[in-house]
Amino acid sequence: MLSEKMQKALNDQVNAELFSFYLYLSMAAYFEAENLPGFATWMRMQADEEMIHAMKFFDYINERNGRVNLGAIEAPKTEWDSALAAFEEALEHEKYISGRINDLVALAIAENDHATNSFLQWFVDEQVEEEASVDAVVQDLRRVADFPPGIFMMDRELGTRGPAAAEGEGG
Ligand code: OFO
- The domain ranges of the chain are 4-73+80-158
Say how many Å lie between the CA of residue 35 and the centre of ligand 1: 25
d(CA 144, CA 148): 7
Say how many Å lie between the CA of residue 95 and the centre of ligand 1: 9
Q: Per-residue pLDDT for 171 more than 70?
A: no
For the stretch 13-42, pLDDT in tens is 999 999 999 999 999 999 999 999 999 999
| Residue owning the nearest CA to atom 1 of ligand 1 | 50
Say how many Å lie between the CA of residue 51 and the centre of ligand 1: 9
The pTM is what?
0.93
What CATH class is the domain 4-73+80-158? mainly alpha
Q: Per-residue pLDDT for 146 more than 80?
A: no
What was the pLDDT predicted at 76? 98
DSSP 55-104: HHHHHHHHHTT------PPPPPP---SSHHHHHHHHHHHHHHHHHHHHHH
Choice from 53, 56, 128, 131 to test ligand 1 binding pocket (greatest atom count within 8 A of CB): 53
What was the pLDDT predicted at 132? 98
